[in-house]
Chain A
Amino acid sequence: NAGVTQTPKFQVLKTGQSMTLQCAQDMNHEYMSWYRQDPGMGLRLIHYSVGAGITDQGEVPNGYNVSRSTTEDFPLRLLSAAPSQTSVYFCASSYTTGGNTIYFGEGSWLTVV
């Protein structure tokens, strides 16, 4: 198993550009989510999905879009990048039962200039 795979690992964007962070998991997990990590603030939930075709907003959804067309993939789209979106982004997945371990990808470092 590859686990949770994120691409790209590093990216520099100009303000106003759009891009997609890719996330794939091979564990047949129903639940997938995106977090952003900022210094001193831990990880904050952006969007999540409980299965193919179902997505919902987390704590900080503005400026981001997601879709879930397959169980395996959960891409995160930045529609018009802003410097405030400079952050480290983590994708995570798990089975839906509340006590199950959530597995994280290795992160995507995004800088918006």
Chain B
Amino acid sequence: DAMVIQNPRYQVTQFGKPVTLSCSQTLNHNVMYWYQQKSSQAPKLLFHYYDKDFNNEADTPDNFQSRRPNTSFCFLDIRSPGLGDAAMYLCATSRGDLDSGEQYFGPGTRLTVT
């Protein structure tokens, strides 16, 4: 089945220690997104790639970076995690050529910062 995969599902890192979260997809979608979701809140878009073009949201902290080496993979790098970065991180994909633009989400990675 075509899907969006996130690894790991649970990640524990130390305060200030860089961490990378991974997302891969078999849908062959050209747009990939990273969202941050804190407890009892709506997902908040951090950035997205439209093909190779990176689009950062204005209020995304510089501490968050992303890489997309190819169509299938996208990474979220947190350079110096703080306690406030503990959250669920959701990856999503969509077809940029579709007006409907529906996004398909992975299961998420829950990040704990100690």
Q: Do A and B come from one complex?
A: no
* B residues apposed to A, CB below 8 Å: none
